A and B are shown apart, each in its own frame.
Chain A
Amino acid sequence: MIVVNEIRKKFHDIEAVSNISTEIHEGQVFGLVGTNGAGKSTFLRILAGVLKPDSGTVTIDDEVVFENEAVKRSIFFIADEQYYFPNVTAKGMCDYYALMYPEFDRDKFIKLAKTFGLNGEHKINTFSKGMKRQVSMLLGICANTKYLFCDETFDGLDPVMRQAVKSMLAEEIINREFTPVIASHNMRELEDICDHVGLLHKGGILFTRELDDMKQHIHKIQCVIKEQEVELELLRELKVLKSVRLGSLLTITVRGSREEIRRKIEAKNPLFYELLPLTLEEIFISETEGVGYDIKRFVF
């Protein structure tokens, strides 16, 4: 289990991470999403023990991560920008990681590289961005570590590869004790593979929640209600995050369960109404809007 307790990290006068506390349990697939510059990468680098937090603690299986070799053996970290030795081949990297990670499965790497059409004898610096990502992902999977931290997970991967990566992760989750933490802006992919999601904004964590639970507790309603007073009454009764009106059509984003919302609307005798769950992308937008991260500020 990963326990993060009130960590802060400053770079000069910029506070990249300000007071994050959270827990990630074994067997969870944790998706990390957040606005640009929210501190996702810094957070992952602290989790992986690359950076030391200014204050607060990070423990993995009850041990502090920073400069702790034993714990680090159970972690594989795929950074946003991957670093490979100059002129190294994919096989060379495999040999290197096999030295670091006792559980590294070389045969599996060679087999997977072949399926992915990556030539192990070729130099990695001749590879495209997406291919480099693939190499990192394969190394991360084959290291057989209990934890995998992956930044910008689906960045640069084509749709087929994104499916393949998700399938690979699924297989590992079934086969062994495996807890991946994956950061990405690709909400669609995260929705498929994650069961928990943490949303970061401005160095803090807005919330962490179970994905299905989250989807069942936020809805978009489109409705037409004849009398304005009744409409206002409805808006007061519901937990409204956002409401937009276009002519007589009212579109509102609301917290609450489907049944509860349905009951309240039907009591108002609407001419028409439709209740839609939100996609993760829409949840992201409405939640960050709630804290002032609004697209209207960027468009004129």
Chain B
Amino acid sequence: MIVLNYQDRRPIYEQVVEKFQILIIKGVLKPDEQMPSVRKLAIELSLNPNTIQRAFSVLEAQGYIYSIKGRGNFVSPQNDFLLERKKEVYKRFEEVVVQALNIGFDKTVLVECVNNTAERGVL
């Protein structure tokens, strides 16, 4: 389901969190769909189950998933987390634009860059 990057230096649970955020945002995992079990993931990825559990707790705290006692974890139906994530990315984008303007980029070049990138499509 997800693949870890062994070159990535971040703690493993952060990677797991990020990979599932992407799967959920992109709709690969649908609202109310059951998340793979901690057990299955731990065995499949050869990871400590506590690491997966920790990643799931973070995802739950961020509103990406909800858990039902005894039944497992499910993808949240609301789009709250998407909204939050959009705000976060927008803020980062703003910062980059300011940085770019500060070091002398022309506004038209930046607009062009946005257009070109958008045309190339998303991953």
- By a beta-carbon cutoff of 8 Å, the part of chain A in contact with chain B is 27, 29, 163-164, 166-167, 170-171, 173-174, 188, 191-195, 211-212, 215-216, 276-279
Interface hit among B19-27, B36-44, B63-71, B75-83: B36-44
Q: Are A170 and B54 in contact (CB under 8 A)?
A: no
Q: Is B29 an interface residue (CB 8 A)?
A: no
| Nearest CB of chain A from residue B19's CB, rounded to whole Å | 15
Q: Is B120 an interface residue (CB 8 A)?
A: no
Q: Are B47 and A193 in contact (CB under 8 A)?
A: yes
Which of A27, A166, A195, A278 is in CB contact (< 8 Å) with B46?
A166
Q: Which residue of A lies closest to B51 (CB)?
A: A195
Q: Are B38 and A212 in contact (CB under 8 A)?
A: no
Q: Are B49 and A173 in contact (CB under 8 A)?
A: yes
| Nearest CB of chain A from residue B99's CB, rounded to whole Å | 12
Q: Are A277 and B9 in contact (CB under 8 A)?
A: yes
Q: Are A212 and B13 in contact (CB under 8 A)?
A: yes
Q: Is B62 an interface residue (CB 8 A)?
A: no
**What does DSSP make chain A's interface, helix, strand, loop or mixed?**
helix
Known: A167-B43, A173-B49, A195-B51. A276 touches B9 (CB 8 A): yes
Q: Are A188 and B6 in contact (CB under 8 A)?
A: yes
Report B-chain residues with C-beta under 8 Å of the C-beta of A171.
Answer: 39, 42-43
Q: List 11 A-B contacts (CB under 8 A).
A: A27-B50, A29-B48, A170-B47, A174-B38, A188-B6, A193-B47, A193-B48, A195-B48, A215-B11, A276-B9, A277-B10
- Which of B9, B43, B46 lies at the interface centre, i.e. has the most chain A CB atoms within 10 A of its CB? B46
Known: A174-B39, A195-B51, A212-B54. A163 touches B10 (CB 8 A): no
Report B-chain residues with C-beta under 8 Å of the C-beta of A276.
Answer: 9
Report A-chain residues with C-beta under 8 Å of the C-beta of B43.
Answer: 167, 170-171
Q: Which residue of B lies closest to A31 (CB)?
A: B48
A-B contact count (CB 8 A): 57
Q: Is B35 an interface residue (CB 8 A)?
A: no
Which of A163, A174, A212 is in CB contact (< 8 Å) with B11?
A212
Q: In the complex, what distance in Å separates the CA atom of A41 from the CA atom of B87? A: 52
| Nearest CB of chain B from residue A260's CB, rounded to whole Å | 17
- Indicate with 1 or 0, residue by residue over B1-24, a CB within 8 angstroms of chain A CB atoms: 000001001111100000000000
Q: Which residue of B lies closest to A216 (CB)?
A: B11
| Nearest CB of chain A from residue B98's CB, rounded to whole Å | 14
| Nearest CB of chain B from residue A219's CB, rounded to whole Å | 9
Q: In the complex, what distance in Å separates the CA atom of A171 from the CA atom of B39? A: 7
Q: Are A167 and B46 in contact (CB under 8 A)?
A: yes
Report A-chain residues with C-beta under 8 Å of the C-beta of B46.
Answer: 163-164, 166-167, 170, 192-193
Across chains A and B, which 8 residue pairs bring their CB atoms closest together, nearest first?
A: A166-B46, A170-B42, A212-B11, A277-B9, A167-B46, A163-B46, A215-B11, A167-B43
| Nearest CB of chain A from residue B39's CB, rounded to whole Å | 5
Report A-chain residues with C-beta under 8 Å of the C-beta of B48.
Answer: 29, 170, 173, 192-195
Report A-chain residues with C-beta under 8 Å of the C-beta of B11.
Answer: 211-212, 215-216, 277
Which of A170, A212, A215 is in CB contact (< 8 Å) with B49?
A170
Report A-chain residues with C-beta under 8 Å of the C-beta of B44.
Answer: 167
Q: In the complex, what distance in Å separates the CA atom of A173 from the CA atom of B46? A: 12
| Nearest CB of chain A from residue B50's CB, rounded to whole Å | 5
Q: In the complex, what distance in Å separates the CA atom of A279 from the CA atom of B12? A: 11
Given A167-B42, A173-B48, 18 further pairs, Cβ under 8 A: A27-B50, A29-B48, A166-B47, A167-B46, A170-B42, A170-B49, A171-B42, A171-B43, A173-B42, A174-B38, A192-B12, A192-B45, A211-B11, A212-B13, A215-B10, A216-B11, A277-B10, A277-B11
Q: In the complex, what distance in Å separates the CA atom of A163 from the CA atom of B45? A: 8
Q: In the complex, what distance in Å separates the CA atom of A163 from the CA atom of B44? A: 9
